[in-house]
Amino acid sequence: MQRRAPWLRILCGWLLTAWMAGSGLVLLLSVVLMTGGRAQMLVDGMRDLADRRIAAMGVNLQNIHLKGVSDHSRADIRAALDFQRGQPIALMDLAKVKENIEKIGWVESVTIRRQFPDVLIIDVVERPRLAVWQYQNKSYVIDDKGQIIPEARAYNFVDLPLAGKFWCGWIPVGGTCGSKMPP
């Protein structure tokens, strides 16, 4: 009796596996193409059903508590929140909300948590405003690391120390230069 080479047996196994995987993929693609967009409509319908069930349980967003937010940054942070009252709180993508808020120049860090049944608590740590800095005839608010806070308007922070060459001469950090600052 003649014995087959072991490599031939391995090759046949690989070919059979590849053929079965290819056949399965072709079958799956055929089903998707034959159903058209019905599969996506089915998924969307199931998601809507889950949303309605959760809403019926009373687990909907009613209140948002912002902590650690100054009056200057409140509007920017509210604009970054992309949800409405009555939306199911359990289905909110908090990672996306956190990412949107952290893009705001005022924000150093943020923590978001749900408080069931209907409250979302957003704890914000703002970048500390250190001084107003003037560069190329423009005034900027800078933080304790020397980074510009882009959303901050320098004329809103007349109580901050001035750094740089201003309209009344050279003022070091910690100095002041009157109570008015040009826009």
Higher pLDDT, 15 or 128: 128
pLDDT category of residue 148 using cuts at 50, 70 and 90: confident
The hierarchical CATH code for the domain 63-126 is 3.10.20.310
Q: How confident is the model at residue 181, as a pLDDT?
A: 43
How many CB atoms are located within 10 Å of the residue 114 CB? 15
- Distance between CA atoms of residues 161 and 112, nearest Å: 33
pLDDT at 33 over 60: yes
Average pLDDT over residues 92-114: 89
- Distance between CA atoms of residues 88 and 82, nearest Å: 13
Amino acid identity of residue 162, one-letter, is: L
Compute CA distances 2 → 5, 60, 96, 132, whole Å.
Answer: 10, 74, 65, 90
Task: Kindly report which listed range (32-36, 84-88, 156-160, 174-178) carries the lowest average pLDDT score.
Answer: 174-178
Name the pTM for this structure.
0.58
Q: Which tokens hold the place of 144?
A: 């304790």
Q: Where in the chain is the domain with CATH 3.10.20.310?
A: 63-126
